[in-house]
Structure formats: C-alpha cells, structure tokens
C-alpha cells in the first residue's frame, strides 16, 4: 500500500477552497497566478492527485498547456482576500498580478512553478492527465456556468509535495 502523505490536509482544503486559493504556473519563462474556487483531491492511478479546472479563455490556460506542473497555495487566513479577489477577476494578460497585489514568488521544492510566498498550505503538483470538457455529457444545470461556451479543461496532477508555511 503506497503511503499517502500529502492527503492529510484534505479537510482543510475542503473548508478553504471555495473561498479562494492561488493556482500558480510557470511556462516559457512567464509566471501567472489565478484564483481558483474549485478543486478535487484524492488517490487515482496509484498517485495522490489534485485536480483543477481552468477555462480555455484564461491566460493561465495558455501557460498550463505549455507547463509540466503547477502549485496551489491556500492562504492561512483572510488577510489575502483582496489579492484573491484581484487574481480571480483580472487577467495576467493585462496585469502583473504579483506587482499589483504585492505578492512574491518563492521557489518550489520539487516543481518548476513557484509557490506564493504567504502563510498557508502549499501543494506542488505535476500534471499527469488532462481532459477538455465535452459538452455532450453536461447535465442541463451546467449551461448557466458556460454562457460563453468557454468550457473547462480538467488538469489532474500528482501531488509531489505538500507543506504548511507559517
């Protein structure tokens, strides 16, 4: 039985995720972070897995399509709510979100994408599978989530590190 060492924080993630976390990705020398409120976590393909969903209209989507990994930073408290709001409503095409929000990158332990250097829980994730949503399978209530038809791509990633910073 493979040890599950990175899933211990599942309850904390569940409590926090819909209030917003930072999804950070680096590709071709560019770094961007966006706010996510959706995620799943678990054990699939003999690996500890983090799944995020990103619309194909997003700048982060462009980076993720060229990246091997991403990080997720869950702020420890509400003091970053303003940054969470900014990074969830503005595009990295128009702003350097790190400058605008006074956020700093910090080198990750095991992936190329950096983490956000704030107190919280950090997941380092290596992309292992992805699937673009097919609207053929959507239940009717999904329609209101996609008025622009900019469906999500689901990125499944192996959690290769998870830790808390004070």
Q: How far apart are CA 166 and CA 152, in angstroms?
A: 33
The Cα angle at residue 43 between residues 50 and 160, in degrees rounded to 5: 50
Strands 69-75 and 21-27: antiparallel
C-beta closer to its own copies: residue 98 or 155: 155
For residue 5, state whether it binds its own copies (rule: CB under 8 A): no
Sole window of 78-86, 107-115, 117-125, 132-140 interacting with its own copies (rule: CB under 8 A): 132-140
For residue 61, state whether it binds its own copies (rule: CB under 8 A): no
C-beta closer to its own copies: residue 13 or 108: 13
Q: How many CB atoms lie within 10 A of CB 119?
A: 13
Q: Is 117 helix (H, G, I), strand (E, B) or coil?
A: coil
For residue 139, state whether it binds its own copies (rule: CB under 8 A): yes
For residue 64, state whether it binds its own copies (rule: CB under 8 A): no
* Token pair in block for residue 1: 């039985």
Judged by the rule CB under 8 A, the positions of this chain that interact with its own copies are: 1-2, 4, 7-8, 10-11, 13-15, 17-19, 37-46, 49, 51, 53, 128-131, 133-134, 137-139, 141-142, 145, 154
């Amino acid at each position: 039985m493979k040890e599950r060492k990175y899933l211990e924080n599942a309850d904390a993630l569940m409590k926090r995720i819909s209030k917003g976390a930072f999804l950070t990705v680096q590709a071709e020398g560019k770094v961007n972070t966006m706010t996510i409120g959706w995620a799943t976590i678990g054990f699939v393909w003999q690996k500890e897995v983090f799944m995020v969903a990103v619309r194909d209209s997003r700048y982060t989507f462009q980076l993720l399509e060229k990246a091997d990994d991403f990080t997720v930073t869950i702020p420890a408290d509400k003091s970053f709510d303003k940054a969470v709001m900014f990074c969830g409503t503005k595009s990295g095409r128009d702003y350097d979100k790190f400058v605008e929000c006074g956020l700093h990158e910090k080198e990750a332990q095991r992936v190329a994408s950096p983490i956000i250097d704030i107190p919280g829980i950090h997941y380092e994730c290596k992309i292992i599978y992805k699937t673009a949503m097919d609207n053929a399978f959507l239940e009717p209530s999904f329609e209101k989530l996609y008025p622009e038809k900019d469906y999500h791509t689901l990125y499944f990633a192996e959690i290769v590190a998870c830790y808390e910073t004070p």
